[in-house]
Each structure stands twice: as structure tokens, then as C-alpha cells.
Amino acid sequence: GENVEQHPSTLSVQEGDSAVIKCTYSDSASNYFPWYKQELGKRPQLIIDIRSNVGEKKDQRIAVTLNKTAKHFSLHITETQPEDSAVYFCAASETGNQFYFGTGTSLTVIP
Amino acid sequence: GAVVSQHPSRVICKSGTSVKIECRSLDFQATTMFWYRQFPKQSLMLMATSNEGSKATYEQGVEKDKFLINHASLTLSTLTVTSAHPEDSSFYICSALKLAGGNQETQYFGPGTRLLVL
């Protein structure tokens, strides 16, 4: 089955700086890679996703890059704000099938 | 939008009893729903894939007789934890797969159910 690894497990950045979270996956059949933000006690919320037919996608301060050859994808948050503090999960999925999650990154943005 | 509800949000039960958790997609039909378990400060662990009108597909290590899943309609999946024990205490989250145009799908999560077995 699919194995998704995520690094780092914790990340602290100063407000305004950038944050980068990296994930690797093992199953070359995976073709959909969403990123979720989960605040304490709440449900995961989709913040951005990328499919295997593109290498990069951007939405305001958030961007995701995908390297299919190396089987890794990354989340980039620029101009971080305190409200970006949360746990972020990457996931990998083969279209319509199971989603496998990374272990999560606890991001703290220091004002 | 895409709203997924889950009921109950919290449940406390005695050891040996069964607990049913409902997951509903409120404004879209979901052929596929997923059930996850999440321990404190840990990631979501996929338990099973629930497909409307067919048997659920369980992940390795998840007891299908322990965690009964029924996906009776395109908007409802239920997870029943049978003969619950304290080690079953956890946060259970469901999600529903919404299909958009171009055969693309997005996963939307329910708010979760916190189960405490005494």
C-alpha cells in the first residue's frame, strides 16, 4: 500500500517568514495530493491540492509543488500569520480510492 | 458548498456496549465515504472505505466485525463500534468524496465524534 512520510513534525517561524513542509509518497499510482489544515479539536480543512498532471499550483499565500519522478510534494506558505498556526497534513490518493495521510506538521507562527 | 455532518459529536459509553456514529453529506451525494481514527496529536488513520450499496473495504489491521460500516444511501454512512472497550476510545472522523467535473474528486470531512469508553 501507499506510505506517506511528512517532515518536519514541528515547525516554528516568525510572523512574515515562509514555511515549507515536505512529503514523500511510495505508490507511483497516486495522482492526487491534497493538503489539509487542522486546528485543535476541529475537522481537517482542505487548503490546496494538486494533481499529477501539473507541477505547481498557487493560491494567494499558499503554493504546492509536485515532483512525480522523485515522488515528493511540498507545501509553501509565504508571509505567515499567527492564524496559520495549526497542524498540517499532506495526503496521497489514487483517484477515487483511499487517502493516505502524512504524520502531520505542527506549525507555530510567532508574532 | 460541501457540508458533511457527523452525529453524535461526543459519546460516553460503558465497556461492552455498542455505539453507532452517523456520517451525512448534506448538500451532495457521496458514493464513497471514508472512516478515520485519530489519536491525540497524531495523524488520521484510514480505517475503511465505505461504498454505497456494497461492502466496505477495510484497511489492514482493522477488524470488520468490530467496526461495522453500512452505507445505505448516497448521503449516509454509519460506523458501529461493537462491544466497545476502553482502547476504542478515540476521535473518529468521517469524510465524503464529492465528484466534480472532469472526474475530479475532493474529500470533505465531518466534524468528528469523540468516543470515550469507560
Q: What are phi and psi of B63, to 5 degrees?
A: -80, 120
What are the cell numbers at A55? 507541477
Q: Are B46 and A101 in contact (CB under 8 A)?
A: yes
Q: Tell me whether B46 touches chain A (CB under 8 Å).
A: yes
The pLDDT value given to residue B2: 83
The pLDDT value given to residue A42: 87
Picking from A102, A103, A111, A64, the residue whose alpha carbon sits closest to that of residue A84 is A111
Look over chain A and give the mean of its residue pLDDT values, rounded to a whole number: 93
The pLDDT value given to residue A40: 84
Q: Tell me whether B54 touches chain A (CB under 8 Å).
A: no
Q: State which H helix or E strand residue B91 sits in.
A: strand B90-99
Alpha carbons A40 and B78: distance in angstroms, whole number: 25
Per-residue pLDDT of chain B (118 residues; tens, 9 = 90+): 689 999 999 999 999 999 999 999 999 999 899 999 998 888 999 999 998 888 899 999 999 999 999 998 999 999 999 999 999 999 999 999 988 766 678 899 999 999 999 9
Across the A:B interface, residue pairs with CB atoms under 8 Å apart total 53
Report CB contact under 8 Å: B44, A102.
Answer: no
Separation in Å, CA of B100 to nearest CA in chain A: 12
The pLDDT value given to residue B100: 73
What are the cell numbers at A33? 495530493
The pLDDT value given to residue A94: 86
In whole angstroms, how large is the CA radius of gyration of chain B? 14
Report CB contact under 8 Å: A96, B34.
Answer: no
The pLDDT value given to residue B52: 87
Residue A96 has pLDDT above 70, yes or no: no
Report CB contact under 8 Å: B108, A95.
Answer: no
Q: Tell me whether B112 touches chain A (CB under 8 Å).
A: yes
Cβ neighbours of B112 in A, within 8 Å: 42-43
Cβ neighbours of A32 in B, within 8 Å: 104-105
Length of chain A: 111
The pLDDT value given to residue B103: 64
| Dihedral over Cα of A101, A106, B1, B4: its sign | positive
Q: What is the pLDDT of residues A17-69, one digit of tens each?
A: 999 999 999 999 999 999 999 998 889 999 999 998 889 999 999 999 999 99
| Dihedral over Cα of A105, A106, A109, A110: its sign | negative
Facing A89 at nearest CB: one of B44, B105, B111: B44
The pLDDT value given to residue B102: 65
